[in-house]
Structure 1
């Protein structure tokens, strides 16, 4: 079974593309969703994040997301430290999940696949792109954050230009129908490569 990484900057539409693959019957692992679950369920992550960020990192058993986001998005060193606590657990969880799938390929959707080096564990990497103004517009419509916060988060991710050099396949996600057609083409290619 092949492992296909799916990534893209914030607002690129990688989750939309992941849902399109899912509708085609491909098992999709959404790393951000699983990371959120693990930050609440893993005692190891809980203990390490409190040691790093203080008691305020958690509110009861749940991660205090607003507090953590405020701390890490202004401090790249702290962001890296948090990622080093969470990402190995997510990687182990993904491996366990993938071993239970029975398809030609699975998709691991992760925002920072290149930034954390996990793209090296993928057989193929798909990058979802969209022009920056469209991405900002999408995030403003979706999330309750300011344009300045969006740009700050974008600055913490690699540029599309840097990612394109490492990606095997690029899906430019501007028009939904065109994106859907492209996903179907890519799916056929991946099935052929896996057979």
Structure 2
């Protein structure tokens, strides 16, 4: 079974692309969603994050996401430390999930696939891109956050140009109909290629 990494900057539309693959019957693992579940359910993660960031990190059993985001997106070392707590657990969870799938290939959608080295565990990678003003508009509409907050998050991720040097396939996600056509074409190519591997 092949593992295809799917990534893109905030607001690029990687989750939409992941859904297009899912609609074609491809098993899709959304790392950010699974990470959120793990941060709320794992006592080990809760203990380590609270030790790192303070008592306000959790409200009851639920991660105080705004508090954490405000701290880590202004401090690169803190961001790396938090990623160092969460990402190894997500990687183990992903491997367990993969072992239960029955398909020619699966998609692992992850926001920082290149930044954290996760792409090295993938057979191929897909990068989703979109113009910056489109990304800003999408995120502002979706998350009700300020342009400044989005810029901070964008600045904590690699640029599309840097990611493109490591990507095997690039999907320019501007027009949804065109994007869907690209996904179908990629899917068909994968089925042909992986069938004989």
Structure 1, unpaired ranges of 5+: none
Distance 1:36 1:4 in 2: 21
1:168 aligns with 2:168: yes
How do 1:136-155 and structure 2 match up within 5 A? 136-155=136-155
SS, match of residue 157 in structure 2? coil
Instruction: Extract structure 1 runs of 4+ deviating beyond 6 A.
Output: none
Q: 1:108-146 deviations in whole A, cap 9, x for unaligned?
A: 000000000000000000000001011111111111100
Could you say which residue in structure 1 is the equivalent of 2:110? 110
Deviation at residue 194 of structure 1 after TM alignment: 1.2
Could you say which residue in structure 2 is the equivalent of 1:9? 9
TM-score, length basis structure 2: 0.98
Deviation at residue 192 of structure 1 after TM alignment: 1.7
SS, match of residue 25 in structure 2? coil
TM-score, length basis structure 1: 0.99
Could you say which residue in structure 2 is the equivalent of 1:37? 37
Could you say which residue in structure 1 is the equivalent of 2:188? 188
CA RMSD of aligned residues (A): 0.5
Deviation at residue 193 of structure 1 after TM alignment: 2.0
Distance 1:64 1:136 in 2: 24
Aligned residues: 195
SS, match of residue 69 in structure 1? helix
Could you say which residue in structure 1 is the equivalent of 2:132? 132
Could you say which residue in structure 2 is the equivalent of 1:22? 22
Deviation at residue 187 of structure 1 after TM alignment: 0.4
